[in-house]
Structure 1
Amino acid sequence: DLLHPLLRLTLTLCPVSAQDLQQTTISITKPEGKNVQINCHVSSPDFINTLIHWYQKKGNEAPKRVAYISSTFFLENRNDEGKFSVAKDLSKSVSQLTLSDIVKALFTVSSYYHKVFGSGTKLVVSGKLCVVCVFSPPANSEILQKKLENQTTYVCLIEKFYPEVIRVTWTDDEKEVTDNVVKGDAWQSAKGDDDYSIASWLTVPAENKDKKYYCKYEHEEQQASLSTQGMFHLLKMDFDLLL
C-alpha cells in the first residue's frame, strides 16, 4: 500500500485563530509522475516576513521538516532537491507548496503557537483520474425523509465518487447546522471498484418541519447543494436500511 504522509504547514508568528488559516481544497487526485500545487491562505499583517515551515509525517513517525520559507526558500535535506518547493504569493497572502514525483499524502496547516490546524488537503496518487462525483438521481433517493411525532429526520445520500475524501455539511438559509447531525463513514461499492458512497443524517424538531435545509458537499474542486424541500423521494425500504 502507498504511504499516507502528513504534511503540516507551521507558522511561527503571533498567535492566530483558526479563521486565519484557510484550505478550501480537501483532496487532489493525480496520477504518478505528475506535479501538484497546494495553496493555503494565511491572514497575517506581516505575511512577507512570516517564517513558514513544512513538516512531513508518515504513519506514526514524528513530523520531519522538509522545507521552510521567509523571503527565501530552503530545503531541509539537499536530497529532496526537485521534490519540494515552497513559495509565497504576496498579492494573495497565499503559501504555495509544489511537489514533484508525488506520493499519497494529507497536507494540513497549523499555527505553531496555538496549534490550530486547517481542514487539510489529501493528495491521492492513483492511476485512475477522479471521476465526476454525483448525487444519486431522484429515483435512487437523494434525500430521504422520515417524520415522527415530534421530529423529522433527513438522510442525504451521495453516491459514486472517488477518492473517498469528501466534506458533507448541513445548512439552513443562514448558517451551518451542527446540532443533531450524524455523518457516516464512506463505504466502497460492493462490486469492488473504486467508487464510494456516504450518507449524512439531520434530525430537526417537528416545529421546523417546513423549514428548508440544504445538504452540501465538497469533493475535489466540485461543490453541490441539495434542498430538503421538493427534491427528496421517499423510499421506505431504502430509508430503513440506511437507518
Structure 2
Amino acid sequence: MTVNAGESLWEKNPLHLKSFSNCLQLKAWARDFLPHNTAEKQWGAQVLLKQSRPSVTVSGSSASMACQVSAKTIVHWYKQHPGEPPKRILYVSGQSPVFDDSSDTWRFQVRQHPTESLYALTIDYLTPRDSGTYYCAYCGYYNKVFGSGTKLIVSGKLHSRPANFEILQKEHKNQIMYVCLIEKFYPDVIRVTWTDKGNKIVEGDNIVKGDAWKPTKEDKYSISSWLTVPAEKKDENYYCNYEHETGKESVTKQGI
C-alpha cells in the first residue's frame, strides 16, 4: 500500500492497520513505506486526548467512559490496577476493535460517534474486578501518549457532589494565601485547578494541592488546595475549579 504526500494514512486504508499490534511495528512500517516526511506528519503532530469524567461509580451491570480525540488516529484503551503497569485491552483502527485477549470481546465494546472524534468504551456484566483506571492512548512519534484516565468504581455506594465549596484567605506580611476547601464528596477522585480572570490555569510552586482525606467516622472525602500570591495582587481575581463525576463548579475569592 502506498500513501501520497499529504494524504491521510487512516483514510487510505484504516483496516490494514489492524495487522500492527504495537506502536513500534506501526512506525517501522511507516518509515519503510510512506513517502518522505509523511510519516513525520502522521505521528509528529500532537493529538489531544480528553477524558472529561475523572471517575465513574456504578452499582449496575454496565458502565461507559468516553475519550475525545482532536485528530484522526488509532485509539488504544488500557486498564490499570493500583501498583501495576497499565495493560492494554484493545485498540481501534477503522470500525472494529482489535482485542489483546479474545476472552474480552463479549464484554467490551467501543462505539465511535458518527460525526465527532469521540470513542466510548462500554463494559458489560460488571464485577468488582473491573474496578481500576481506564486510559485512552495513541502512538506519538516517539512514545505512547495517554489521556488523564477515568477511574471505574464498581460499588453499591452512590456518588455525591461536594456539600461545601469555598475559598478562605489569610494575609501574612507581603503575601496572601487562598485556601480552596472542598468537603464531603464521593468518590475521592477529583481534579482541582486554579485559574485567573482570563481563565488561564495558574501553575507553579505557589500552588500546593493536598490529598483527599476522610474523617474516621465518615464515608465521604474532603480536599484542599492552596494558592499563594504577592500582597500587591490582592485585587486580582482568582478562581478555584473542580471536576468531579457529579459535575464541575468554580468559585472566586471575591466577596470573602
For residues 215-237 of structure 1, what are the alpha-carbon distances to aligned partners after superposition, in whole Å with 9 as ceiling and x for unaligned?
1111104111111010x3xxxxx
Letter in 2 for 1:119: S
- 1:88–1:95: 8 Å Cα contact kept in structure 2? yes
CA 186–24 in structure 1, closer or farther in 2 if over 3 Å, else same:
same
In the TM superposition, 1:39-118 aligns within 5 A as: 39-44=66-71, 47=72, 50-71=73-94, 72-102=96-126, 103-113=130-140, 114-118=143-147
Structure 2 distance, partners of 1:224, 1:61, is 32
SS in 1 for 2:192: strand
Give the aligned partner of residue 5 of structure 2.
none
The CA deviation at 1:177 is: 0.9
Structure 1 distance, partners of 2:84, 2:237, is 46
Letter in 2 for 1:129: L
CA 59–169 in structure 1, closer or farther in 2 if over 3 Å, else same:
closer
The CA deviation at 1:88 is: 1.7
- 1:156–1:199: 8 Å Cα contact kept in structure 2? yes
State yes or no: 1:225 paired with 2:253.
Answer: no
- 1:67–1:76: 8 Å Cα contact kept in structure 2? yes
Normalised by the size of structure 1, how large is the TM-score? Answer: 0.78
In the TM superposition, 1:130-145 aligns within 5 A as: 130-136=159-165, 142-145=166-169
In the TM superposition, 1:21-32 aligns within 5 A as: 21-31=49-59
SS in 1 for 2:145: coil
Q: 2:188 aligns with which of 164, 182, 194?
A: 164
CA 63–155 in structure 1, closer or farther in 2 if over 3 Å, else same:
closer
Q: Which has the higher helix share?
A: 2
SS in 1 for 2:43: coil
Which stretch of structure 1 is more off in the superposition, 120-129 or 55-64? Answer: 55-64
Structure 2 distance, partners of 1:198, 1:24, is 20
In the TM superposition, 1:160-239 aligns within 5 A as: 160-174=184-198, 175-179=200-204, 180-191=206-217, 193-230=218-255, 232=256
Structure 1 distance, partners of 2:106, 2:163, is 37
Q: Indicate the structure whose relative CO is greater, using CA pairs within 8 Å and at least 6 residues apart.
A: 1
The CA deviation at 1:153 is: 0.3
Structure 1 distance, partners of 2:246, 2:44, is 30
- Aligned residue pair count: 210
Letter in 2 for 1:153: M
The CA deviation at 1:59 is: 4.3
- 1:29–1:125: 8 Å Cα contact kept in structure 2? yes
Structure 2 distance, partners of 1:177, 1:63, is 30
Structure 2 distance, partners of 1:76, 1:132, is 37
- 2:62–2:122: 8 Å Cα contact kept in structure 1? yes
The CA deviation at 1:110 is: 2.6
The CA deviation at 1:178 is: 1.2
- 2:196–2:202: 8 Å Cα contact kept in structure 1? yes
Letter in 2 for 1:87: R
Structure 2 distance, partners of 1:61, 1:190, is 28
CA 59–159 in structure 1, closer or farther in 2 if over 3 Å, else same:
closer
- 1:73–1:87: 8 Å Cα contact kept in structure 2? no
Q: Which runs of 5+ in 1 are unaligned?
A: 1-9, 137-141, 233-243
- 1:87–1:95: 8 Å Cα contact kept in structure 2? yes
- 2:79–2:133: 8 Å Cα contact kept in structure 1? no
State yes or no: 1:122 paired with 2:147.
Answer: no
- 1:67–1:85: 8 Å Cα contact kept in structure 2? no
- 1:69–1:87: 8 Å Cα contact kept in structure 2? no
- 1:15–1:111: 8 Å Cα contact kept in structure 2? no
In our comparison, the structure showing a higher alpha carbon Rg is 2
Structure 2 distance, partners of 1:54, 1:147, is 47
Give the aligned partner of residue 20 of structure 1.
48
